[in-house]
Amino acid sequence: MAQTFNHHQVDDIPATVKNLTDGWGADVVVEATGSPPVWETAIACARPGATVNLFGGCPRNTTITVNTEQLHYSELTLKGVFHSTPHYVREALNLLSSNTLPFELLISDHQPLTQLEQVFQDMKHRRVVKVAMQP
């Protein structure tokens, strides 16, 4: 089962994930906002042995706090993924086109291309996460 959560709409995502998984947590967690507190939330959602993909790039010089007991004893795998190499772009496009995951839930807004400058400003000030630009 794949689930997507918007951190602006769900108060306690780790508790929600644990409720959906009989208290275990998620096998795989993909974070796509680039917000340090959401990176921490993503890690908190993981079950023992899980892989957490930290996909969203955080602002320069930011840090996160990781529960060392969870990381060590739950044997978590944390992966930072820089997505702009050709291999990963192809893989991402293949995954998007497969329609196997509800990626539309990652889009926080839709704007016309004429608003591109404003969208960049909104992203810079963390008012939006992922915006679909429409020609």
The per-residue pLDDT for range 72-100, each reduced to its tens digit, is 999 999 999 876 778 877 888 898 889 88
Three-state SS annotation for 86-127:
HHHHHHHHHHHHHCCCCHHHHCCEEEEHHHHHHHHHHHHCCC
pTM of the model: 0.65
- Looking at residue 18, its pLDDT comes to 97
Which of 22-26, 83-87, 102-106 is predicted least confidently? 83-87
| Alpha carbons 134 and 112: distance in angstroms, whole number | 5
The CATH superfamily assigned to 13-101 is NAD(P)-binding Rossmann-like Domain (3.40.50.720)
Domain boundaries, the chain: 13-101, 107-135
Band of pLDDT at residue 16, cut at 50, 70 and 90: very high
Half-sphere exposure in the Cβ direction for 104 (13 Å, CA): 4
